[in-house]
Amino acid sequence: MKIQSMNCAQISSLLKEMGQPAFRAKQVFSWLQKGAGSYDEMTNLPKDLREILAKEYPIYVPKAVRKQTSARDGTVKYLWELEDGNCVETVLMRYRYGNTVCVSSEVGCRMGCAFCASTLGGLVRKLEPHEILGQVLFTQKDSGLPVSHIVLMGIGEPLDNLDNVLRFLELVNDPAGLNISMRHISLSTCGLVPKIDELAAKKLQLTLSVSLHAPNDEIRNRLMPVNRAYPSEELLEACRRYYAATNRRISFEYAMIDGVNDRPRDAKELLRRLQGLPAHFNLIPLNHVEESPLRPSSREAIAAFQKILEDGGVTATVRRSLGGDIDASCGQLRKKYQKQTESK
């Protein structure tokens, strides 16, 4: 395991084997959690230790191969190159309540959602904990903007890479590291039911965001192949169990797609099926993906849909779209970069 993926206890035991005093572990861990680019920066460590660590536990710093800043809202999008040459996207959004980083959890995705750019080339591989963490640390370092909130809503399905995601969460939550509270973290899933239960058992106070996108199986099967493995009723049951275990309201993402899932009767069906489950809806006007025939709903259709949900007692917000001028929705920048480098 890369030293940057280790928690403080693991660093502690490897330093102990090297005959180092106990307090060194915390020093190394804190430097790594600040995004130190090399052991030379760790000025409170003896020089010989720095040299041994550099040889045995090299640090990897991802390379920003693209960086785009939105002229409209200051959103910054990075394309990071990993050690093996694969690239992932990270988006930094500047909200009033704090700077929020949207991280990727996999290179590509195997979930196959019909509207999503990230899944077009399938799954290449899962990210290691330090590769997820690095997106936060080096985005913060490069931009000079302190990060207070994290959303796992970039490329990939976080629950398809749960063990590495859990380590990532442990690292960012560590008081000797970024010390970001679980309440400032959202994890978005397409609905892998057994993994939702596994996460619920951890009783973390993060927000579970579920990509619902449809009021019933008929529509959801067309949009999301995962629904054939875990139909919407099983998914909603898992959401109820998640709420019972954590007492955290579920956040549902709902991409508004013209003529597909945006009719008044779709909103009414949702209300019927969600009864008794504390929920919040994020209505997202579909981001148009070149390869797809699906189109965003009209502003009027979205407003009418929102009103039906609200009148039925379910809070619903329309997600403000940031970074529309910089391909800031997931998967778009990575794909464009692949096309450009392939044609060279």
Residue positions annotated with a catalytic role: 89, 330
Part in contact with ligand SAH (CB under 6 A); list of ranges 2-10, 47-55, 197-205, 280-288: 280-288
Q: Using the rule CB under 6 A, is 279 a contact of ligand SAH? A: no
Q: Which is nearer to ligand SAH, 33 or 251 (CB)?
A: 251
Torsion region of 205: left, alpha or beta (phi above 0 gives left; psi -120 to 50 gives alpha): alpha
Span from 4-12, 236-244, 285-293, 303-311 in contact with ligand SAH (CB under 6 A): 285-293
Q: Does 168 bind ligand SAH (CB under 6 A)?
A: no
Distance CA 329, CA 256 (A): 15
- Count of CB atoms within 10 A of residue 183's CB? 12
Q: Is residue 101 involved in binding ligand SAH (CB under 6 A)? A: no
Q: Which residue has the tokens 């019972």?
A: 244
- Considering only CA atoms, give the Rg of the chain: 21
Our finding on whether 188 is near ligand SAH (CB under 6 A) is yes
Of 89 and 128, nearer to ligand SAH (C-beta) is 89
CB 4 within 8 A of CB 59: yes
Choose, by CB under 6 A, the member of 190, 200, 316, 326 that binds ligand SAH. Answer: 190
Among positions 12, 99, 189, 297, the unique one binding ligand SAH when judged by CB under 6 A: 189
Q: How far is the CB of 96 from ligand SAH (least distance, A)?
A: 22
Is the C-alpha dihedral spanning 94, 283, 205, 155 positive or negative? negative
Among candidate residues 274, 286, 288, the one with its CA nearest the CA of residue 239: 274
Q: Return the residue of 115, 138, 230, 242 that touches ligand SAH, per CB under 6 A.
A: 115
* Contact pick of 89, 128, 253, 266 for ligand SAH (by CB under 6 A): 253
Residue 209, SS3 per DSSP: strand
Burial-class residue 261 by CB neighbours within 10 Å (0-12, 13-18, 19+): buried
Is the Cβ of residue 157 or residue 262 nearer to ligand SAH in the bound state? 157
Q: Closer to ligand SAH at the Cβ: 159 or 172?
A: 159
Query: Rounded to an integer, what distance in angstroms lies between the CA atom of residue 320 and that of residue 267?
Result: 20
Binding residues vs ligand SAH (CB under 6 A): 113, 115-116, 153, 157, 188-190, 211, 253, 255, 284, 286-287, 289, 329-330
